[in-house]
Amino acid sequence: MSASQVSETLDAHYWATQMQAVARARDAQSFMRIYDHFAPRLQRYLLGLVKSQAAAEELVQDAMLRVWARAESYDPARANLVTWIFRIARNLYVDRARSEPTWVDVQEGIEQLDAERTEFGMSSAESFNDEMQLLDAINSLPALQARLVRMSYLEAKSHSELADELSMPLGTIKSSLRRAFAKLQSAMRSAP
């Protein structure tokens, strides 16, 4: 195991322990540690999606309130805390985006992938295996599509930012992402 993997494992264990304290004893200090660590990261992520400081702040507050309210539903065997918290924030963003006329169909591809991955109760080993398959599927995409997926969803860059940064038309960015998600869905369905 590499040094970074050991560090990630220790970090994941620390945050899982903090979350368990919130779930069991409603420990406000543990929650504040979680809040102080994750809220700024959520802010940057959501700001990349909504483009409004006020909307991003509102989503961060909603996400962290939901983390507090649903603390007992967190299962460290199923996901790292960072994954769980970002999924809550992303779901709130999707709910908000769906209510707006500018909703982009690419989000539906993400939701379908998530639904397929969580359709069956998976163990952490199965979840890890699925994550590895997804990474392999992303790596097998054409270079541009793989780069767009990483930049858009791992770096939380908007389609407009991608178009500006890569000097490409916005329509090309969106259609490339749609094709990438179709390929990812196909790869995940056919994976053993």
Residue ranges of domains in the chain, CATH in brackets: 1-101 (1.10.1740.10), 104-192 (1.10.10.10)
Residue 101: band (very low, low, confident or very high) from pLDDT cuts 50, 70, 90:
low
DSSP characters over 15-39: HHHHHHHHHHH--HHHHHHHHHHHH
pTM for this prediction: 0.52
pLDDT value at residue 170? 86
For residue 30, what pLDDT is reported? 94
Most confident of the following: 22-36, 49-63, 94-108, 153-167: 22-36
**Residue 123 confidence (pLDDT):** 44
Report which DSSP code applies to 9: H
Phi-psi map region of 37: left, alpha, beta (phi>0 left; psi -120 to 50 alpha): alpha
pLDDT value of position 157: 78
Instruction: From 159, 39, 27, select the one nearest 104 (Cα to Cα).
Output: 159
Alpha carbons within 13 angstroms on the beta-carbon side of residue 104 total 18
| Whole-number pLDDT of residue 26 | 94
Six token digits for residue 62: 């909603």
**For the chain, what is the mean pLDDT?**
80
* pLDDT surpassing 50 at residue 6: no
Confidence check: pLDDT of 150 > 50:
yes
